[in-house]
Structures are given as C-alpha cells and as structure tokens.
Amino acid sequence: MEWCVSMPKIELHAHLNGSIRDSTLLYILLPSFTYNSTSFLFYELARELGEKGTIVFSEVEHVLSKNERSLVEVFKLFDLIHNVTTDHKTVTRITKEVIEDFAADNAVYLELRTTPKRNDSKGMSKRSYLEAVLEGIKSVDSVEVDFSRNINVDASSHSHGVYDICNGYERKKIYVRLLLSIDRRETAEAAMETVELALEMRDFGVVGIDLSGNPVIGQWLTFLPALEYAKKQGLPVTLHCGEVPNPDEIHAMLDFLPMRIGHACCFEEEEWKLLKKLKIPVEICLTSNIRTETISSLDVHHFADLYKSNHPLVLCTDDAGVFSTSLSAEYALASSAFGKYSLGKREMFELAQKMIEFIFACDRVKGELKEMFAKAASELD
Ligand code: 5GP
C-alpha cells in the first residue's frame, strides 16, 4: 500500500542487529555472492561458521531452512549474526544502513535499541561498541539526522516538515535515539554496567533501557537492581514482557511500572486487566509474533482487542532484517488484517500520530514531531 510508505511513521521497537540488511550480511560473509533469499543467507552464514569450527553446523541446520521459527530458534540465528557482526567497523556500517532504511521508509523518529557487547578478541568493550554505533549515526549523509539530546537547535530556523532545507535542497529528516538493551543472559553487574553507560551517554542520544534476549533464560530478580537504578535516575525503561507464558514474571514486570512493554503475547485474563488498568503502552510487532509462532495467527492477535479498547499501542518491526519486514509493511498488515475495525489511511495515520506521546525523547522532539504530523495531516487526502 503506497500510503503506508508515504505517511510519516514512528518506530519504537527495532533491534539494531536484527534490522541488518540481507545484502550486508551476505557481503560480510561472502563478498562475491549475489543471492537474495533470507533463508539461503542464514544457511550460508551457518555453513561458513561451521567450516571455521565456530559452530556445529548440524545443530543449527534445521533452524535455517524454514520461515516460521520458534522464538528459541530465532535466538540461535541471533548468535550466528553476532558471530560475524560484532566488530567496530561492522557495527558502524549496520547502524548507518539501518537508519537510512528506516528514513527511506519515511520513519521520522526511530528509537533504535542495541545490546552493548564486549568482544575481547576484537578489543571491544560495551563503551567502544556504543561509540561505534554513534559513529554510524554520525556517518549517515543521505538524510538529515537529529540524534543528540542537547543538540543546539534554533527553532526559528528549523523546518518542522518531513523534509529539511539544506543548501537549497530538500532532505529527509529523521530523529534517532538509542535504547541500550540488557540481554537476559547477562549478570546483574553487566546489567548495571549498561545502565551506567546509558546514563553517561544521555547527551549523545541515549534515552532509555530495554530488557530483551531469550525469554526462557535469566531471572527477573537478576536485572531488577539495574532497572530500579535506571528508573531512579530518570531513565525510561521498556521490557520485553510475556513472550512466553510466565505469569509470575509478567506480574513482577507490570508491578515495576515500565514506561512501555514489548510483545505481551502470553497474557492471561488477569494480566490483561492489570495492563489495561495501568495503561502501559504496548509495542506490537505483528510479523515477528507470527513468524516466531508466539501468536498462532493474526485473527487471534491482541492488537485488535487493544486497539478496540483504546489501549496505548505502537506498531513496530522488531527485527526487519531477520523477519524480512519494514515499518510500512507492518502498517499495511495491521490495516488489512483487522479490517472490521476499519483501519483505513486516516486511522493508521492517527495511530502513528498518537505514538508521539510514547517516545522517550524530550519535549522539544515531541513538539517538533507534533508539528510535523500536523503538517502531514493537512496534506493527507
Ligand atoms: P542487538 O541487541 O544485538 O543489536 O540486536 C539483537 C538482539 O536483540 C538479540 O540477540 C536479542 O537479544 C534481542 N532481540 C531481538 N529480537 C528479539 C525478540 O523478539 N525478543 C527478545 N526477547 N529479544 C530480541
């Protein structure tokens, strides 16, 4: 749907390494290849790593040949990807390309999340990983990027449209902010290190903390001190919540009162009631939920109920590369799959516009986005 591409959109749940371009992953692996199929790509990636002795190919082979992978299988893919992407130069490249891809799809605000990683063999610390990400943001030149909290903006000289005037030319503009992810495999100390890093880097576009990683690994209590600390310091937190049935954890997470949660796939009646009472915004990733078989089909997806109940929600991609999707494809899917709620162009636009309230960036950015959407609204029909 053309209008899904052309309307301004907000992305609040995108994992950096999950958003990698197929072509980049292929290039890193096999510079001479020109194939384009994602399944083939992962197959080649695993085969290469198997030959190098990094992984046992036979253990992951079955994961690679199918499009619907369980959540656990998807995490095996992430390990494969990290194996070849975790060096400074590649992290910088992926960051630049992911921003360019979202901007090309008319995302006007992108909250990109990534797990700062230590990789001793590459001389990488969590801090140098983040610096490589920042380098990637700075190196974007095809669009105008606003990424720093304290960027000095003379409001009167700034256009608040989707396009900025630069040297007489119209250039697309995108606001980019970062969330630092804590991986559920990490220790309490590593989680605290990530929060400290986020606090230090607040002036460089870091606006919050995310808890993600394989949901069947790790205990909520391990991460709680770091998350409490983030909250106390005024750093917003979003949690991957209810990706697997785990009522105790879901309750503990909701009691923590995060600013947003991701997925909420395995909630029971009682948890829906609590969520709705607390009005915690939900980051919805339709393709991801279907591909990972967390939700059996769109007909039973909770998006429809939350939308109908006027519960705050945001439409997101999760991992555009891994799941071969895009933000406009998620809008098109929501619009067509929940037709009985008549989600036409106007409704989808209003949904995107409402998301401004749930971003973690400052009021200045919120104000500018509101102006941007107001301008786009007047040109809608
Ligand atoms: P990165 O943090 O390396 O930039 O992005 C990939 C990582 O994001 C994965 O290794 C995983 O920790 C996290 N991630 C990506 N997609 C999902 C998801 O659907 N659920 C959860 N829980 N974590 C995810």
| Mean pLDDT within 207-227 | 98
My answer on whether 324 and 230 are in the same domain is: yes
Determine the structural domain holding residue 344 and report its residue range.
Answer: 2-13+92-378
- CATH code at 329? 3.20.20.140
Question: Own/partner pairs for 324-327, CB < 8 Å, 24+ apart?
Answer: 324/22, 324/38, 324/287, 325/287, 325/288, 326/101, 326/105, 327/9, 327/11, 327/102, 327/105, 327/107
Same domain, 187 and 61: no
Say how far apart CA 96 and CA 90 lie, in whole Å: 10
On the question of pLDDT at 59 being above 80, the answer is no
Residues 80 and 45 sit within 8 Å (Cβ to Cβ): yes
User: Is it the case that residue 154 has pLDDT exceeding 80?
Assistant: no
Answer with the one of 84, 108, 129 that is the final residue of a domain.
Answer: 84
pLDDT at 157 over 80: no
123 and 40 within one domain? no
pLDDT at residue 360, as a whole number: 98
Domain boundary among 84, 111, 127: 84
**Ligand 1 center to residue 379 CA distance, Å?**
37
Task: State whether 221 and 243 are in the same domain.
Answer: yes
Residues 212, 354 within the same domain? yes
Query: Which residues, including other chains, have CB under 8 Å from residue 49's CB and lie 6 or more apart?
Result: 55, 57, 80, 83, 84
Out of 84, 105, 136, a domain closes at 84
Query: Quick one: 73 and 109 in the same domain?
Result: no
Q: What is the pLDDT of residue 338?
A: 80
pLDDT at 49: 74
Question: Ligand 1: which of 11, 13, 15, 194 to mutate, judged by most atoms within 8 Å of the beta carbon?
Answer: 15
Per-residue confidence (pLDDT) for residue 156, from 0 to 100: 42
Among 74, 92, 212, residue to substitute to test ligand 1 (most atoms within 8 Å of Cβ)? 212
The answer to whether residues 168 and 135 belong to one domain is yes
Task: Identify the weakest region by mean pLDDT among 35-44, 93-102, 127-136, 348-357.
Answer: 35-44
Residue 29 three-state SS: helix
**Residues 130 and 155 grouped into a single domain:** yes
pLDDT for residue 150 is more than 60: no
If you measure from the C-alpha of residue 318 to the centroid of ligand 1, how many angstroms do you get, rounded to a whole number?
A: 8
**Segment 6-20, tens digit of pLDDT:** 999 999 999 999 999
254 and 368: one domain? yes
Q: Is 308 helix (H, G, I), strand (E, B) or coil?
A: helix
CA 153 – ligand 1 centroid, Å: 33
According to DSSP, the β-strands at 163-166 and 313-315 are: unpaired
Provide the domain count of the chain. Answer: 2
pLDDT of 51 > 70? The answer is yes
Domain identity same for 235 and 369: yes
**Residue labelled with tokens 């990807």:** 81
Q: In the prediction, which pLDDT does 339 show?
A: 65
Query: What residues are annotated to the active site?
Result: 243
Which ligand 1 atom lies nearest to the CA of residue 78? 10
pLDDT of amino acid 155: 41
The Cβ of residue 157 has, within 10 Å, a number of other Cβ atoms equal to: 7
Q: Quick one: 157 and 60 in the same domain?
A: no
* Per-residue pLDDT tens over the stretch 271-318: 999 999 999 999 999 999 999 999 999 999 999 999 999 999 999 999
Based on the fold, state whether residues 75 and 208 are members of the same structural domain: no
